[in-house]
Structure formats: structure tokens, C-alpha cells
Chain A
Amino acid sequence: MGGRSIKQFQKRWQRSKYLEGLFYAIGFGGLVYLLTHNLVHGVIGFIVSAAIAVFVLRPWSISQENAVSYIDAHLPQAGFSSGLLLSPSNELSDLSKLQQYRVALQLQPVLSKLRPPHNLLKATLIMFAMILLGLAGRFVFSKVGNPLDGNKSTKEQITFSPKDNLSTSIKIPELTGTKITVRYPGYTGKSALDTSDPNIKAVQGSSIQWNLEFDGGVQGVQLDLMGELIDFAKIDESYRLTKNLEASGFYSFTFKDSEGNNYVSDLYSLEMVKDEPPMVQIEGLDSYSYFEFDDEKRLMLNTSISDDFGIADAYIIATVSKGSGESVKFREETIRFNKAVPKGNKRMDLQQPLDLDDLKMDPGDELYFYVEALDQKRPSPNVARSETYFAVIRDTVTDMFAVEGNLGVDLMPDYFRSQRQLIIDTEKLIADKPNISEKDFKFRSNELGFDQKQLRLKYGQFMGDETEMQAAAGAVSHNDGETEQSNEGGEEDLLDEYSHKHDSDNEHNLVEEHGDENEGQEAEDPLHDYLHNHSDPEESTLFEKSLKAKLRDALNIMWDAELHLRLYEPEKSLPFQYDALEIIQEIKNSARIYVHRIGFDPPPIKEENRLSGDVENITNYDKRQEFEYQKSFASTREAISRLESLIQGKKKFDAGDSALFVDAGNELAQRAVSEPLKYIKVLQGLRDLEKAANRSKENYSEVQKNLLSVLPQIEDIPMKKTKYYSEINSLYLKELGVYE
């Protein structure tokens, strides 16, 4: 009998251990449940922690010996002999039997009161602490937004609510299963995505399939895509709709239950991501490359191409232009990269040497090239191209300044010499010097100087310089007879002797001289009608900046050339002339696109015939046209005032309001496609008003506030106002008129 009580004690001990483990487990399981709000997680946590706790505590390891030693240690009545109780009495000596009997007798009342060692209090405290911790964590997460399950309850599920207040006897149909499958276009290489999140973001051309399952009878399940209603097809027990994603937008679901009550879901976004065209970049190359004829004419093309879903192809487009002016010819070639372009890579670095000789380019030819890349988008791929680069083989041959010699008419005046001609003439003059008289030499030198000036002025016009011809001409005096003037008279007088009066328009004395009166005519240069008017330097657009600087240099050099010619030093002038020639050639080779414009002169009208036509057959003409003017966001604006009267409680929500808010939503949705973030709140608010439960003053105000904040200003329109004319005012206005 004593043995049984010891066993009971042992059992109690073990039970308390189990209980302790259970407390720990409940605490941990509760913590998990509170944090995740998922019962399954909580149960798993409970079981796992229970197992661990029991394994750690090992209640089964408490043996009778443990119990006995504990009893011996804690009960003096046991007299360190409680172990005897376990021994069968027939194995004991008499003394032992006596002791056994005594101990059994003494222990009986106290043993049941002896508590086994336990940590139950600690376990309970820990349990409550964990649960509290869980509650605190729950609170914190709900404030911060639980990353664990926040999306689940709000976003990742479609929730329906009835459109009208229900007076229904039947159960509200519930959405039991949502499966949205997004199939990306094949070329993207992405696998289909299964989700239950109705906010979809996918690449253009993706196919989206919604699978909805309901319990309870539903009918007419529809997708409302910004006013466009698309029916779901019923397949077995689920409803299915497949749609290709072609534009961003918003959508919601609607369905009817068997009694015909309408249900509508929240508004979800459908975001289309455009497949970006590839990015093509050519690295380490100047946009203009120049080669001399005898250079090695090779270009190294380093291209890096990237695309968001993979590149399909890339190649070089090279255009060679030959010739100049109207005879320019173009030849386009597609050059493949040496290395084959692998399909579907997202990023590629390609290299390709370009040999201009292989392209059959001659000096003076130009090469324009760029790299074109295609991505895998279907049906039509996105095409991207790099910037255009130029390669030019310098031309040293075509350096004649003929103002478009290939034009049928040669507009070049006889006296107008090119720089090259000037050089030739100057060289000839130097060569002739010993054979001619000094006066003749000086005369010819001066004449060359004049030609040099003319040439400079011609080029000056391209720069937009003022024509200085008349100024120079006016400075020359024309007193024929006075050839030997004193030298103090200035350079002009000195020149006069030698000049052939080229500097005046009246070179051949065809017209009697009238002093400065000729200036006006002289200003008109023969090219005037065929050229842009570049008299204003601001309007001079013919040349790039660097060209302008070059031309300016050339003009400055021409000044020096002219100076030396005028000083009868053709030798000194020659180097300047060469310099000028070289610069002019460069300029001409880099900018060669001028088109002559030929004006139109209408035939003159005879004054006496004007306005004398026969108008008998002319009749009145009537035209009729109607414009449907709708001010911008008319429904939205009306919705605002309707909401105001709803807020003020002047009217009840009715079907008309519902229709108006739908219209307003559709109006805004068009705008929302471009800026979804700004509008989704408004649209959602408007959509929420469909649901009976949301029709409260607070919601009305909220929606109205959002509407007002996104609505643009009304455009200006003249409008008719009303005014009251009182008798006195009318009288006053009348009197005002009389005494005016």
C-alpha cells in the first residue's frame, strides 16, 4: 500500500512535468498564431514546441528511485526509509518490515500533500509572456502593416460586396477560389505566373486568365474593364475569362446571385509594362572620323546592346555617299557582324572592324553608319538604332570655287576670280615681273588685290558680314585728270593712278558717274536672288560654329593677302593666299549643301480688269454644322455637386446617382491610364459608392475631396450671365447716353 502511494507521487511528478511542457507549448503556439494569424501555423508551433519541451523535460525519466529520494529528502516522517515501501515485504527483515510499516503509516497522511518539484509557475509566466508578446507583435504589425499577412487579407483576395441593400433570404454567394494565370509572351522566356492577387502587372501582349469559383448560385459574372463589360465563360463549376493585355487600366468583377442582386468587387489595377526597345551604344568612336587618302582607313566599332527580354538581331547599316552637289549618290549596305548574334541574350558586346576600302570608298566619299538592333517582341519587334557616325576620306582635289558650276547657268561674273586663280595669276605676275614695266606690274598687283578683296567680300557674305564694296568704292576719288597728286593725299590718291576703277560699279564708264548715287545699286550683288539673305549675322545658318571660325580665319588671311598685293608685294602675299585656299577647301568639303532658289514672278494683273468679273452665277453658300460640346469632365463635375447635396442630406442615394458616379469614374479612368497612382484612390472611392454599405457622409466627403483634388480647372468659355435691370439703373444708363 505504501508502494502505491509512492507510485502515485511519481505519477504526480510526471504529470506536473507534462503540464509544464504543455504550458510552454501553448505559449509558443499562441505566439505563432498571434503573429501569423494562421491557425495551422499556431497548431504546428504548438505541436513542435510541445515535442521539444517534453523532450527536454523528460517526464518519463522520473523513476521511483527519484521519487523515493525526493520523499526522503523532504519528509522527515519518511526517516530515509521510504525506499522500503517499494520492496516486497516478504524480502525484508523483520526490522525492515517494522520500519516499513511505520513509515507507511506515517507517510500516508503527508505524502499526498507533498508536492513534487515543479516549475509550473515559471511555465505559466512564460506562457502568458509569450502570448502577451504575440499580442504586442500583432499590434505593432497591424500599425506598421504586417509583411507576413498584410497583403493576404486585403489585396490578394477578391472581395465582393453587394451593390444594394439586401433583402435576401438566400445566402450571399461567396468566392471560394481565385486563380489568375498570367502567361507572358513566349519570347520573354518567362514561365506562366499563377497568382491570386488581382492587381496585375505584366508585359504587353501577355495573356491573362481569370478563374473564379463560387459557392452558391451565381450568374452573369462579368469583368468591368473601365466601362467595357466582358462576360466570363462558365466551364464546369468555375468561371473563366482570358484576355490579352494591350493597355493599362482598371477592372472589377460583377456578378448576380440567383435573386438578381448585384455584387461588385473592389477596383484592381491592370498595369501593362511596355517591352522596352533595345539600347544600342557605340563606344570609343568620335562622331566624325577623318582619314587622309593614304591613311589606313579602318574603324573599330565597339557596340554594346542591351534589352529587357533579349535581343533578336543586330547589324550595321552603312551608307556611302559619293559625289557632291546634285550628283551625289548614296549606296546603303547592311553589314553583319562577324560573330553571329546569339538570340535571346539580354546584353551583348559586339566588335566589328570597318574597312573603308572594302566599302569601295574613294577620297571625298563619306560614310554614315549606325547599328540597328531588334528585340524579340512579337508580332512586330522593337527596333532601336544607335546614333549615326560619320567617316570621311578627305578630298584634296575638288577645290574650285565655282558657285555651283553644275547649274546650267554660270553666274560667276567674269571679274570674279577664285583663290586658286588668284594664286596662279599672282605666280604669273611674279614670273612676269622682269619683263613688264613697273607701272604695269603695280597695276596688275593692285588689280589682283582688288580681286582678292572681291573674293573676301563674297565669302564675307556667307558669314553674314556687311557688304563693304560700296564703302571701298566710295573712298576712291574719280578725278581722271589728276594722276600725279601729292603723296600726302593718302593711299587712295596714290592708287588712283593705277586703279582701273574696278572699285566702282561703273567700271567701263557705261554710265555717267553720279558720285555716291550708285551705291545702292552696287550693294546688289548678282547672287542676291539665288542665295539666302545672310545680311544679318544672327541669321547666318549655313555653317556650323567651327566652320564659321574657319571662314573667319580665311577672311582674315585674305585681308593680309590683299594688303600685300596692294603694296605691290605679290611674293609676300602668296603664302597667305595658299593658306586661304587650304582653309576654303576644307570648308567647302565639309559643307556643301546649298540649293539655289529660283523665285516665282507671277504675271502682272491688269488694273483695269480687276473686280470686273461676272458674278451672276455666284450664289449664296450655306454651311451647317453641329458641335456637341461637352465641357471637360462634365459628369465628374456634376458628381461633385451631387455629392455635396448628398453630404448635406438633401437627397437620398438613388439609381441616377449610381449612373452618374459610374460615368464620372469612366471619365476619370481615361485620364487615369497615364497616371494610375494619382487616380486609383478616387476611382476606388467612386466604385465603393456602388456598395450600399459605403454610402456614408464620411465616404461622400472623402470621395468628393479626392475628386476635387484631381479635377483640372474648367476651361474658359464665354457664358451668358443674368442681371437684373432695375428701373433706376435703366434710367441712369439712358441719361448717361443722352448727355454724352
Chain B
Amino acid sequence: MNDGVVFLNQNLLWPVIIVGLVLWVVFIWKEWSQRKERRFYVKLIASFLAIVSLCMIVLKPSTYQESERGKGIVLTAGYSPTQLDSLKSIYKRIKTEEYTKGRTLSLLTDVDSIFLLGHGLEAFDFWQVENKSVAFLGSDEIEGWTVISRNNEMILGEPLEIRAKYAKPKAGHWAILADNAENPLDSVLFEETDAQVVTLSAEPKASGKFVYHLLEKRGDGEVVSNEPVPIQVKEGRPLKILMVNTFPTFETKYLKNFLTEKGHEVLARTQLTKGKYKFEYFNGASGSMYGFTSENLKEYDLLIIDTDSYTGLGRASKEAMEEVAESQGLGVFVQAGEGLFRLSKSQSPFQFNRDYVTEIVLGQPAQTLSKYPYEFKETLRSQEILMDSVAVAAYLPIQKGKIGTTLLQNTYQLILDGKEALYAQIWTQILNNIAKEQESMLKWTAITQIPRRDEPFQFEVQTPLTDFQVQVNDDEIIPLLEDVLVPNKFTGVVYPKKTGWNQLRVFSDSILPLSYFVYEDEELQSIGQSEIMKVNYRKFGSKNTFDDSASILNKELEPVSPFWFYILLLFSLGWIWLEPKLSY
């Protein structure tokens, strides 16, 4: 209060004082005749008070107060009414406004501190509160799916794996993963917890762009919610494989049969005797292969080599092999033999510990497989290839390429036992991890997790290409912004016009499409809300008071209510009017 009184109409101060004084002087002159009497003085005082009150009504004196005027409440979806009520009981006439995304908040013009209730503002509306002090109070009302993470893109044959989190699940409800035609594929029963993480998986049966569904069903089968899970399934391409063996084994023979029957291009070389080989060409393979050179190896995706051949490689061959692996990404798979485990560190990159376990149990139904009594020594670089959480193989990255081996032996027994599916599963898992990956020229990443119609969709493009354009709708070019620190990384924004699948295209030598799925407003609401809340917490922090600096600014001039001046004026004028009547 030591800030004192300030007139709101400060600019009128002097004119008002002068007019008031003139009025008073006129009054005094009018009543001058009575100056001998006591009532003259009473009248003087009454008239003075009346004039002062008039002046005050005009000037509007005000005081600095811990004012409510600078604060406002912005209500966003999901706010709690009790929170609003308690705020309103502290700040009596605080302004509130409901937030609609994309619309400018009118209340921001006369407040500079905002209580943000509910899930928060959309990220693209943050600019509105850029200079304001915001206390984000949040909401704990979110119920439903809060996270759905998955692999958006997969090769046909790879499983779709969804990890999703459901806040406040109802016991007895089911989470069901259904395909695009809503055939159920996998399900999990909810339990009574605060939040449940469910893992669902399924293998897409066809390639293309599909919208799978994550359903929540009641016990009686009624669908409670249905969230879309857009996925893209692509066709894989056959591998080009070189198999090198010193002598034929059943293991190699069956692996070779497996690979060739699946359409891979295989060149198999088996040593017959010194310097003489048996070459087998499958599915269009050609050429003969004696020593490895970087020239003849680089077209292959995978080299399958047995231990004896591996150790028997000449220096030039070995260097060529490593060079191609490093630069081209060739995958090298060493078929383990007893010899492999005895190699010194300089001879082989693999390191093993003897574990004396000769059997391993895999698959459903469980199937016992024999293995070498070793395990992989954990090193910095080594990556294990797991199946059913059991390490069946491991590889070491050699720059782009990989070199790997497996501890399993005599897997061909599975085929003899009629368990082709498990055999295929094991080798697919192993070889997929090791084989060369086709190098693509461009990588798309969606930054906006839940694109919606008419809202910005941010994406990132990584490409070494220099001359390219990103287009939507065949003709509209999207400007891209290159990252300051990381070269070849660009970001851009589009505003999708329709829901469902949308496409961006890169025009360069070839056309590379990016498909992204735009959700309807009512889809993925709970996830959207929790995302918004996360973004808001990140932006505004989680403390629910304003900064000190902001609250000093917030002290506001509060005009003294003119009511009191009216009362004073009324009494003064009343006295002046009444007094002559009393004297008679």
C-alpha cells in the first residue's frame, strides 16, 4: 500500500482542481452574507466535501493492489471443475476462457498470467502465450490408451509388434488387436491397475497399406473403443548368397535347399579336392569364385562360409571380405565347427565362453536342439540374436556389414523331424539379422506423432541427395529447412487436407513416397491428450505458481469504488439543501 494513491485520470487533475476551486469560490461568494453565523462554516465544509467527491468521481483515484486483473484462466479439454472452483474462490473476478485449438485467445489481451487447466494447449498454439507467465496445472483425467508404439513399416513376414499403455483399465475388458477387416489377431485381458502395458503382436498376411485396429471390448463382446493402427507392409527382396564349404555337410545341404527353394540366388562352392570345386548355381547365380576380391564379393548380400574355409582364407581374400563388409554391408555368416571355438583372438572376431550346455530349447511346442557347449562372451560390439529370449546366434558389426555365427548345430534335424516351420523361423531370424541391408537414398521420419486434418504435420527427411523436391498433390512443393548442425537432414511442414492415408513424394531421379496416416479428430484422443500434456509440461514446467518477477508486475491499479464519493456528495448536498429549511 506504500505505493500510494494514483489517479487514473491523472491528465484531468489540474482542470478538475481548478474547476472545483472555482465552484467553491462561487459558493463561498454566494454565501458570504452569512459569514457571521456558525452555519456558514458548516456549509463551507459540506460544499467542499461535495466538490471533492465530484472531483474524485471524475479523477478515479486508485491504489496498487495484488490484483486479479492480470490473471486469467484458460480452460482446455479435460480440466477439473473443482480446480477451477478453488481458483475462482481465491481470485474472485478472474477471467476465464475456454480454449479451442487454432483460435486466438481473446483474454490474452488483458492478462499476462495464465492458469492453464486441463490437458493444455496444442503445440502450434504456444506462440499465443509466448510472453505470458503460465502456470500449467494439468489434468489427471486421462483414461484410455496413452501410448501406442509399434513398428509402422515392416517387411512381409516380419511381425507387427504393438506395445501400448492403457491408463485406468477396467478389469474384465479386453484389448484386442484386429486386422484391417477386424478379424481378431491377438488379445490381452485388462486387470485392475492404474495403467497397464500390453504387448500385442501379429504377422500381417499381405503387403500393402492397412489400418489395423486396437479394440477395447467388454466381457460381453461390445466394442468400447476402436483405435486405428496404420501400418505399411512391404515386400522383401530375395538375397544374393554365396556359400563356401570345404566339404559337404548335411547342415549346409539343408540350408542351401531352404534358401534356394525360397527363391534366393545362391552360388554354392564345395571343395572337391585341392583346387577343384563343385559349383552350384541356383536361381540365376553365375560366375565362378575362387579367391575373394572386393570386386566379386560386392554384389553378394550374404556370405555363408564354414569354419574351415574361414580359417583357410588367404590374407588377400580375408581382407577383401572385410573390406566389402565395411563398405558395402556384406553379411558374413560363419558356420560354426569345433575349430571355431579354438581360434585365437587374431584369427576370429568371435569370443566364446565354455558353458558345457549342449542343448537348447526353442519354439512352441518346445523343441530341443543340440548346440556347441559354448556361449558368446559379451563384448562391446557383439549383438545377440534372440529367439524366444534365447541367444541362438550373435554378430559383430563391421561398419556397415556384419559377421555372425550360431552355436546351434545340426539344425537340419528339425527338417527330418518334420519341423520345417521352426527351421525356417530360426534361419530367417539369424540370416535377416546378418544379411546386407539394401541401402536407401532417403529416410523419412514423421515428427508429428498424431497427424490430424488441417493441423501441421512435421516431417524429417534425411538424404545425401542435393537436388530434390518434396511435393504434395503432384504440384505443391513443400519448402524444406536444413538442419544447422547435421547436414543432409531437412524438416518440413504440411497441412494434410484429408484424413486417412496421405502421401508426400520426393522428386529426384526416382520418386520415393512417404505415406502417413491422418487421424480423425475422435481417433486416438486419449493418446493425443497425453501427448499434449507431455508437451505442455515440457513447455511450462510442472510447478503451479507464477514466477516472482511476474507477480510483481501483476500488482495492478484498482480504482477506489466511486460509490463512496456518491454517498459523500449526497450527504453534503442534502445538508446544504436541508439547512435553510431548518432555520425557519
Name A residues whose Cβ lies closer than 8 Å to a Cβ of B. 615, 618-629, 636-638, 640-641, 644-645, 648, 701, 704-706, 708-709, 711-728, 730, 733-734, 736-737, 740
Query: Mask for B457-474, Cβ within 8 A of A = 1, else 0?
Result: 000001110000000000
A623 to B500, CA, bound (A): 51
Is there contact, CB below 8 Å, between B283 and A715?
no
Chain B residue nearest to A734 in the complex (CB): B399
Q: Can you give 16 contacting A-B residue pairs, CB < 8 Å?
A: A615-B276, A622-B280, A623-B278, A624-B281, A637-B156, A637-B205, A638-B206, A641-B208, A708-B205, A708-B206, A709-B183, A715-B421, A720-B237, A727-B488, A730-B399, A737-B381
Q: How far is B239's CA from A717's CA once the two chains are assembled, in angstroms?
A: 10
CA distance A620 to B271 in the complex (A): 9
Residue in A640, A645, A719 with the greatest tally of chain B CB atoms within 10 Å: A719
Contacts A623-B280, A626-B283, A637-B206; is A717 near B262 (CB within 8 Å)?
yes
- B183 contacts which chain A residues (CB < 8 A)? 705, 708-709
CB distance from A625 to the nearest CB of B (A): 5
Q: Within the complex, which residue of B157, B421, B440 is in contact with A719, where a contact is CB–CB below 8 Å?
A: B157
Residue of A nearest to B500 (CB): A648
In the complex, the answer to whether B380 meets A740 with C-beta atoms within 8 Å is: yes
9 nearest A-B residue pairs (beta carbon): A719-B236, A641-B208, A629-B263, A705-B181, A724-B443, A640-B206, A716-B428, A718-B431, A723-B437
What CA separation (Å) do A704 and B183 show in the bound complex?
Answer: 10
Assess the B205–A720 pair: CB atoms within 8 A. no
Chain B stretch 387-411: residues in CB contact (< 8 A) with chain A: 397-400
A722 is contacted by which of B210, B260, B429, B439 (Cβ under 8 Å)? B439
- B432 lies within 8 A of A721 (CB): yes
CA distance A708 to B207 in the complex (A): 12
Does B122 interact with chain A (Cβ within 8 Å)?
Answer: no
Contact B261 A730 (CB under 8 A): no
Chain B: how many interface residues by the 8 Å CB criterion? 72
Are B259 and A718 in contact, CB atoms less than 8 angstroms apart?
Answer: yes
Beta-carbon contacts of B269-297 to A below 8 Å, as 1s and 0s? Answer: 00011101111111110001000000000
Interface check B436, CB cutoff 8 A:
yes
Assuming the A-B contacts A626-B284, A644-B180, A704-B180, are A720 and B380 also in contact, with contact meaning beta carbons closer than 8 angstroms in the complex? no
Contacts of A620 in B (CB 8 A): 272, 276-279, 288
Known A-B contacts A723-B439, A737-B398; the reply to A718 vs B206 at CB < 8 A is no
Given A620-B276, A716-B428, A730-B400, decide whether A627 and B260 contact each other with a Cβ distance below 8 A.
yes
Cβ of A346 to closest chain B Cβ, rounded Å: 40
CB of A714 within 8 A of CB of B156, answer yes
- Determine if A623 and B281 form an interchain contact, defined as CB atoms under 8 angstroms apart: yes
Task: Please tell me if the beta carbons of A644 and B428 are within 8 angstroms of each other in the complex.
Answer: no
Assess whether B437 is in contact with A722, with CB atoms less than 8 Å apart.
yes
* Residue of A with least CB distance to B156: A714
Q: Is the CB of A724 within 8 A of B279?
A: no
Knowing that A714-B156, A715-B157, A716-B425 touch, tell me 19 more A-B residue pairs with CB under 8 angstroms: A621-B278, A629-B261, A637-B205, A640-B205, A641-B207, A641-B209, A644-B209, A714-B157, A715-B421, A717-B157, A717-B428, A718-B435, A719-B156, A719-B432, A720-B239, A722-B439, A724-B463, A736-B381, A737-B397
B437/A721 in contact, CB under 8 A: yes
| Complex Cα–Cα for A513 and B236 (A) | 75
Measured CB to CB, the closest approach of chain B to A605, in angstroms, equals 17
Could you give, for residues 403-433 of chain B, a 1 whenever the CB lies within 8 Å of some chain A CB and a 0 otherwise?
Answer: 0000000000000000001001101110110
Looking across the interface, which residue of chain B has its beta carbon closest to that of A638? B206
Interface centre among A620, A704, A724 (most CB of B within 10 A): A724
Within the complex, the shortest CB–CB distance from A604 to chain B, in Å, comes to 23
Least CB distance from A123 to B in Å reads: 51
Tell me the chain B residues, 273-329 only, with Cβ under 8 Å from chain A.
273-274, 276-284, 288, 301, 326
Q: What residues of chain B lie closer than 8 Å to A709, measured between beta carbons?
A: 181, 183
Count A/B pairs, Cβ under 8 Å: 180
Minimum CB–CB distance from A323 to chain B (whole Å) comes to: 40
Q: Distance in Å from the Cβ of B260 to the closest Cβ of chain A?
A: 5
Nearest chain A CB to B46 CB, angstrom units: 87
Closest partner residue, chain A, to B257 (CB atom): A627
CB distance from A428 to the nearest CB of B (A): 59
Q: Is B384 an interface residue (CB 8 A)?
A: no
If the complex has contacts A701-B181, A725-B400, are A720 and B206 also in contact, measured as CB distance less than 8 A?
no
**From B236, B427, B488, contact of A726 by CB (8 A):** B488
On whether the beta carbons of A644 and B438 are closer than 8 Å, the reply is no
Contact B424 A717 (CB under 8 A): yes
Please indicate the chain B residues that have their CB under 8 angstroms from the CB of A619 in the complex: 276
Across-interface contacts of B424 in A (CB, < 8 A):
715-717
Contact at B435–A618, with CB atoms within 8 Å?
no
Q: How far, in angstroms, from A645 to B206 measured CA to CA in the complex?
A: 13
CA distance A180 to B501 in the complex (A): 51
Contacts of B182 in A (CB 8 A): 705
Bound-state CA distance A322–B288 (Å) is: 66
| CB neighbours of A730 from chain B (8 A) | 399-400
Residue pair A727, B487 in contact (C-beta under 8 Å): yes
- Does any Cβ of A come within 8 Å of B486's Cβ? yes
Question: Complex Cα distance A623/B210, Å?
Answer: 43
Contact B438 A721 (CB under 8 A): yes
Chain B residue at minimum C-beta to C-beta distance from A626: B283
CA distance A186 to B180 in the complex (A): 52
Given contacts A622-B281, A623-B280, contact A641 B464 (CB under 8 A): no
**A46 to B108 Cα, complex, angstroms:** 84
A716 to B259, CA, bound (A): 11
B197 at the interface (CB under 8 A from A): no
What CA separation (Å) do A127 and B236 show in the bound complex? Answer: 72
Query: Do B180 and A737 have beta carbons less than 8 Å apart?
Result: no
Contact B262 A629 (CB under 8 A): yes
Residues of B within 8 A of A712 (CB): 205
Contact indicator A714/B203 (Cβ below 8 Å): yes
Assess whether B494 is interfacial by the CB under 8 Å rule. no
Q: B263 and A721: CB pair below 8 A?
A: no
* Docked pose: A706 CA to B182 CA in angstroms: 10
B443 contacts which of A621, A624, A726 (Cβ < 8 Å)? Answer: A726
For B210, what are the chain A residues with a Cβ–Cβ distance below 8 Å? 641, 644
Q: How far is the CB of A418 from chain B (nearest CB, A)?
A: 45
Least distance between A225 CB and chain B CB atoms (Å): 27
* B264 on the A face (CB < 8 A): yes
> Are B282 and A626 touching (Cβ within 8 A)?
yes
Asked if A722 meets B440 with Cβ closer than 8 Å, knowing A625-B281, A644-B208, the reply is yes
- In the assembly, what is the distance between CA of A628 and CA of B501, in Å? 35
CB of B481 closer than 8 Å to a CB of A: no
Q: Does B442 contact A (CB under 8 A)?
A: yes
* Nearest CB in chain B to that of A731: its residue: B399
CB-CB < 8 A to B463: which residues of A?
724
Chain A nearest Cβ from B186, distance in angstroms: 13
Confirm or deny: B155 has a beta carbon within 8 angstroms of a beta carbon on chain A. yes
Given contacts A718-B259, A740-B381, contact A645 B278 (CB under 8 A): no
Give chain B nearest CB distance to A394 CB in angstroms: 44
Residues 317-348 of B at the A interface (beta carbon under 8 Å) = 326
B179 within 8 A of A: yes
Check: B238 CB closer than 8 A to any chain A CB. yes
Q: How many angstroms between the C-alpha atoms of A640 and B261 in the bound complex?
A: 25
Contact of A648 among B435, B437, B487, B501 (CB under 8 A): B501
Q: Which residues of A contact B501 (CB under 8 A)?
A: 648
Distance from B399 Cβ to chain A, minimum over Cβ atoms (Å):
5
> In this complex, what residue of B is CB-closest to A726?
B462
Query: Which residue of A is nearest B397, CB measured?
Result: A733
Contact A720 B277, beta carbon cutoff 8 Å: no
Give Cα distance in the complex from A648 to B278, angstroms: 53
Distance in angstroms from B392 CB to nearest chain A CB is: 14
Q: With A618-B273, A622-B281 in contact, do A720 and B381 touch (Cβ < 8 Å)?
A: no
CA distance A716 to B203 in the complex (A): 10
| B282 pairs with A716, CB closer than 8 A | no
What is the minimal beta-carbon distance from A196 to any residue of chain B, in angstroms? Answer: 35
User: Is B155 in contact with A623, judged by CB distance below 8 angstroms?
Assistant: no
User: Once the chains are docked, how many angstroms separate the CA of A730 from the CA of B399?
Assistant: 7
Report yes or no: A723 in contact with B274, Cβ–Cβ below 8 A: no
B205 touches A713 (CB 8 A): yes
